[in-house]
């Protein structure tokens, strides 16, 4: 990604299960590769936590859903490899091969890959690069450990939807508790910060579910933002109002990475910065959602302007 570090957003989020969050026991199989809250030992005690990789997957899916709703075809199906057959039920998405399987002949530089990548791959990464968004493991806040309850389940046949005789399994459910996770969006474009805001708003509105059994209405969580800050490299052109990498990068980088040129009108003012060495940090804890309100149109504007996944798809089968 861009060689210079220019800006980042840091968010601390507290995740509160609204419904029980299911944990698969050692021998149960429920519904595929959904997130499994896992446990580890910390200071000699067993603690349950929500793995960051799984939270990232859940947030990416939600982000993709928002993008597809606003602009059909704007994001790829990340695991859709033209060389393999992935059953794609939606006709319009049959050509939505993953950005990681696309290329530009003779120009697979990071800049070209980024330029061609869809909104979701730019934000969360693809087989070719890491993306701008990261989230760590979510551990229980002190004195807010969840309780563990055992549940019984009945095996459901995937094809008929009926129960399967003799298949009974034990489940463990995490009930209550609060989990703390840290999110970072590095070198963001303004539409990416808008995308983060849309995710955080839906997190707060209990629109996001984690764990197994989500299709049965389990695993709903509420995500409450506890801190929100923006940090910029302290340069001569340090901004007084909100900017992203689209405004901070030079003209050449802006063109080669195909950065979106969009600024809110009127500009979004920033509070007084705290200076830490070479960095300036702006604390938006109290009013991030309200302050970033007028940034939201950047997201849809980007989707329309970018036009979805670009680059060539090779359909030749490799001899396996």
**Interface residues toward Zn ion, by CB under 5 A:** 76, 99, 118, 121
Give Cα separations from 15 to 65, 165, 292 (angstroms): 21, 37, 21
Q: How far is the CB of 132 from Zn ion (least distance, A)?
A: 13
Q: Toward Zn ion, which CB reaches closer, 258 or 291?
A: 258
Q: Toward Zn ion, which CB reaches closer, 99 or 303?
A: 99
Paired with 179 in beta bridges are 15, 140
φ and ψ at residue 182, rounded to 5 degrees: -115, 130
Q: Toward Zn ion, which CB reaches closer, 76 or 174?
A: 76
Q: How far is the CB of 292 from Zn ion (least distance, A)?
A: 24
Q: Toward Zn ion, which CB reaches closer, 109 or 163?
A: 109
Ramachandran assignment for 135, one of left (phi > 0), alpha (psi -120 to 50 degrees), beta (any other): beta
Q: How far is the CB of 103 from Zn ion (least distance, A)?
A: 13
Closest to 299 (Cα-Cα) out of 99, 61, 120: 120
Q: How far is the CB of 295 from Zn ion (least distance, A)?
A: 22
Give Cα separations from 211 to 91, 153, 179, 235, 249 (angstroms): 29, 15, 14, 43, 39
Q: Toward Zn ion, which CB reaches closer, 24 or 132?
A: 132
Rounded distance, CA 1 to CA 110, Å? 6
Q: How far is the CB of 195 from Zn ion (least distance, A)?
A: 13
Q: How far is the CB of 115 from Zn ion (least distance, A)?
A: 12
Q: Toward Zn ion, which CB reaches closer, 47 or 127?
A: 127
Tokens of 150: 């055992």
Q: How far is the CB of 316 from Zn ion (least distance, A)?
A: 21
Q: Toward Zn ion, which CB reaches closer, 118 or 221?
A: 118
Helix, strand, coil percent values for the chain (each to nearest 5): 25, 30, 45
Rounded distance, CA 181 to CA 56, Å? 11
Rounded distance, CA 179 to CA 72, Å? 34
């Amino acid at each position: 990604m861009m060689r210079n570090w220019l800006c980042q957003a840091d968010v601390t989020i507290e995740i509160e299960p609204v419904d029980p969050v299911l944990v698969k026991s050692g021998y149960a199989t429920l519904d595929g590769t959904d997130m499994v809250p896992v446990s580890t030992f910390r200071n000699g005690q067993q603690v349950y936590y929500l793995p960051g990789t799984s939270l990232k997957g859940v947030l990416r899916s939600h982000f993709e859903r928002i993008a597809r709703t606003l602009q059909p075809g704007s994001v790829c199906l990340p695991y859709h490899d033209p060389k393999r057959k992935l059953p794609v039920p939606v006709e319009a998405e049959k050509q939505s091969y993953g950005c990681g399987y696309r290329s530009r002949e003779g120009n697979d530089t990071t800049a070209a890959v980024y330029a061609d990548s869809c909104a979701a791959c730019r934000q969360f990464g693809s087989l070719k690069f890491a993306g701008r968004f990261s989230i760590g493991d979510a551990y229980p806040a002190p004195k807010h450990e969840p309780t563990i309850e055992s549940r019984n389940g009945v095996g459901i046949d995937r094809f008929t939807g009926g129960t399967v005789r003799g298949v009974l399994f034990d489940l463990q459910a995490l009930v209550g508790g609060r989990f703390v996770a840290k999110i970072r969006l590095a070198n963001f474009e303004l539409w990416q910060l808008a995308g983060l805001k849309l995710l955080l708003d839906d997190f707060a509105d209990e629109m996001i579910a984690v764990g197994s059994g989500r299709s049965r209405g389990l695993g709903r969580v509420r995500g409450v933002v506890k801190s929100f800050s923006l940090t910029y490299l302290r340069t001569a052109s340090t901004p007084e109002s909100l900017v992203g990498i689209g405004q901070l990068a030079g003209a050449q980088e802006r063109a080669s990475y195909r950065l979106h040129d969009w600024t809110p009108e009127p500009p979004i003012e920033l509070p007084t910065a705290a200076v830490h060495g070479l960095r300036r940090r702006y604390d938006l804890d109290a009013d991030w959602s309200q302050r970033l309100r007028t940034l939201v149109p950047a997201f849809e504007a980007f989707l329309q302007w970018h036009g979805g996944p670009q680059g060539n798809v090779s359909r030749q089968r490799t001899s396996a």
